[in-house]
């Protein structure tokens, strides 16, 4: 009986983990689409040296990197695209604007949903 419980718990943990991974991949893809639409350039980690640099960066997070008197913004993804997105301050500003617009659209879509179909709220 104990073995069956361990197997069942392991299976549940595996399914939950794979669901989380799918959500993370989807979120990464959405972010990368917004970055590209904002003017960020994708650079593949197509050599071991580049892959090491991508791995060394904070993952799936926009990071400012000083370059001369300006900042470049870098988004590294060693897991899914195995690439780095690099953009200027202007591209970063466009990304923030597009991201905000997307969030507002999603919020409006949720607000417009027919919540009455779910029955009474308690």
Report if residue 20 sits inside a domain: no
Q: Which residue has the higher pLDDT, 110 or 51?
A: 51
Calculate the CA dihedral of residues 93, 95, 98, 100 and round it to 10 degrees.
-80
pLDDT band at 2 (very low <50, low <70, confident <90, very high): low
For the cut 60, the answer to whether the pLDDT of residue 59 exceeds it is yes
- At residue 26, the pLDDT reads 67
Report if residue 49 sits inside a domain: yes
pLDDT band at 78 (very low <50, low <70, confident <90, very high): very high
Counted domains in the chain: 1
The DSSP secondary structure of 48-96, one letter per residue, reads HHHHHHHHHSPBTS-EEEEETTEEEEEEEETTTT-EEEEE-HHHHHHHH
- At residue 16, the pLDDT reads 53
Report if residue 56 sits inside a domain: yes
Q: Which domain holds residue 44?
A: 39-95
Side-chain-side CA neighbours of 80 within 13 Å: the count stands at 19
């Amino acid at each position: 009986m104990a073995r069956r419980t361990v197997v069942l718990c392991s299976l549940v943990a595996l399914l939950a983990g794979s669901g989380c991974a799918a959500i993370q991949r989807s979120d990464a893809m959405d972010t990368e689409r917004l970055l590209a639409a904002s003017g960020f350039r994708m650079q593949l980690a197509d050599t071991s040296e580049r892959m090491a640099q991508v791995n060394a960066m904070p993952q799936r997070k926009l990071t400012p990197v000083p370059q001369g008197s300006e900042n470049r913004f870098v988004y590294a993804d060693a897991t899914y695209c195995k690439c780095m997105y690099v953009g200027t301050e202007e591209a970063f500003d466009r990304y923030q604007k597009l991201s905000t617009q997307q969030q507002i659209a999603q919020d409006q879509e949720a607000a417009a949903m027919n919540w009455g179909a779910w029955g009474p709220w308690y």
